[in-house]
Amino acid sequence: MKSSDKIFPIVFFVHLAVIIYSIALAQIFYFLLLCVWVAVIFKNKEISFNSYDILFLVFILLRIVTIIASEYPSLSVIAIYREIIFYPYYFIAVYYFRSKGIDGIKTALWVSLFAAIIPSLYAIWSVAQGAVGRGASFSGGYSVFAVHTSFMFAFGLALFVTQKKPKIKLMVTAGLLIYAAGVVSTYTRAMWIAVVLCVLALGIIGYRKTLIAFALVGIAAFSFFSSVHERFLSLLDPMHSSSGRLELWNAGLELVSRHMVLGFGPETLRAIIGDRSRFFDPYINSWHNEILHVTIESGIIAPLLLLTIYGFSFFLLFKLKRPESLENNNGQFEFYFILFTILIIIPSIMFGSIMLSILNGLVLKFVLAFYSFTGEESEILKRRTWRFRS
C-alpha cells in the first residue's frame, strides 16, 4: 500500500475530530485531506461515481453558475471561499466509505462522538456557571454547535440501537445524555425538536424504557431550570415566538418571482432585502430556511435538486425497511443511521441552512455520502468507475 493510502484515513479521522473545535483547524485539515485524496486518486488512476454523486455534482455546478450570473457578482464571489471549495468533501467521504465499508464508517462515527464530548461538557458547564447565555463550542457559535451536537446524537443512536455489548451500550447512553444536554444548553428550539423526534422514534422502534429515561431527564430540566421552561413554552405559540422569521420568509417569497431561473446569486441577502430595520433582527444575514435560501440565490431548479438529494433518504428507508427482529444486525445500522439523521436534517433545513454552512455543511456531506454508499450496498444505485492515465 502506498504512503498516501495509509495517510488518507488518518487525516480523515483528524479532520472529523477537529470540526467541532475550531473553524480554522477544520479548514486547514480539510485542505490537507483534499490534497491527500487527490494524490490517492491519481495514484490509483480511477474514480467511481453513481447517479446520486452526479446529482450532487449538478447541484454544485448550478451554484457555480449562479455565482457567475449573479446580480451582485462582487458579493457572490465570496461563496467560492465559503461554500464551493468545501463541496469536494462529499466525494472524499464517499471514497472513504467505499474503501473501508461499514466497519470503517463505524470507526469514523466513534471518532466524531468521542471528539464531541469535551466541547459538549464545556458548553453545559459554561451555561450552568452563567458565563454564557447559550451553550457553544470553542468556535462557530451556538447555532453551529446545536446542529453538530444533534448530529452526534443521531450518530450515537444508530450505534446504540445496533450495539449488542451491554458495557458499550451503557457508554453510548452516557454520551447520548451529554449530547442531549449540550443541545438543550444552546436554547436552539429547532434542534430541540430534532432531538425529541429522534427520542420518539427510538420509543416507537421498541426502546420504551430509554424513551422514558430521556423523558424524565427532559422533565427535570423543564422543572428545575426556568430558562428552559420559558424557552420550551415558546414552542407552544410558534406564531408569536417566530423571532421575525414569518416576516422574513414573506419578504423572500415576494422576491422569488423576480429571478426564478438563476436567482439573485449567493450571498446577496443584504443587497436585495433592503431596509432590515423592519425585521425582528436587523442584523439578519440568513433566510433561516434552506429551501427558500437556495431558491432566492440560485433559482427554482436548485431547491428541486436539493429536495431530491434529501428525499433520497426516504426512498432508502422504504427500500431497506426496518428489520423484523432487533436482534438481527443485517441492514439495521444503515436503516437507523438514515432514520435518525433525516430527523435532524428536516428541522435544520426548515429553520436554517446546513448545506451552505462551512462546519455543519461538512458533517452534512458526511451524512449524504453515507446515503450514496448505502444506495450502492442495497443495489439501488449502480456504481461506475472511470479509469484514466496520469
Q: What's the whole-number mean pLDDT along residues 198-202? A: 92
pLDDT-derived band at 133 (thresholds 50, 70, 90) equals confident
109: phi then psi, degrees, rounded to nearest 5 = -65, -45
End-to-end CA distance of the chain: 18
What pLDDT, on a 0 to 100 scale, did the predictor assign at position 283? 66
CA distance 194 to 347: 6
Are the CB atoms for 125 and 181 separated by under 8 Å? Answer: no
pLDDT band for position 130 (cuts 50, 70, 90): confident
Say whether pLDDT at 233 is over 60: no
Other Cβ atoms closer than 10 A to 279: 16
Of the two residues 138 and 344, the one the predictor is more confident about is: 344
Checking if the pLDDT of 104 tops 80, the result is yes
Distance set, CA 305 to CA 59, 65, 350, 382 (Å): 6, 14, 16, 20
CB 181 within 8 Å of CB 124: yes
Q: Is the pLDDT of residue 388 over 50?
A: yes
Q: Which comes out higher in pLDDT, residue 104 or 389?
A: 104
CA separation, residue 200 to residues 114, 193, 231, 316, 349 (Å): 24, 10, 20, 21, 20
Q: How confident is the model at residue 250 (pLDDT cuts 50, 70, 90)?
A: confident
Residue 328 pLDDT: 47
For the residues 235-239, what does the mean pLDDT come to?
53
Please give the share of the chain, as a percent, with pLDDT higher than 90.
Answer: 60
The CA distances from residue 179 to 4, 25, 124, 186, in Å, are 34, 22, 10, 11
User: According to the model, what pLDDT value does residue 326 have?
Assistant: 41
User: What pLDDT is stored for residue 46 in this prediction?
Assistant: 86
Nearest one of 115, 81, 35 to 356, comparing CA atoms = 81
Distance CA 61, CA 57 (A): 6
- Grid coordinates standing for 41? 486518486
> Which DSSP helix (H) or strand (E) runs through 49?
strand 46-49
**95 has a pLDDT exceeding 90:** yes
Angle, helix 141-161 to helix 189-204, in steps of 10 degrees:
10
pLDDT tens profile 59-86 = 999 999 999 999 999 999 999 999 999 9
As a whole number, mean pLDDT of residues 101-115 equals: 95
**pLDDT > 60? residue 20:** yes
Per-residue pLDDT at 187:
87
Rounded CA separation 164/295 (Å): 45
pLDDT value at 238 more than 60: no
Q: Nearest CA to 270 among 92, 76, 140? A: 76
Which pTM does this prediction carry? Answer: 0.91
- The least confident of 109-113, 142-146, 226-230, 297-301 is 226-230
pLDDT in the model for residue 40: 93
Q: For the chain, what is the total number of helices (H) and then of strands (E)?
A: 17, 2
Q: pLDDT tens, 367-383?
A: 999 999 999 988 899 99
Mean pLDDT of the chain: 87
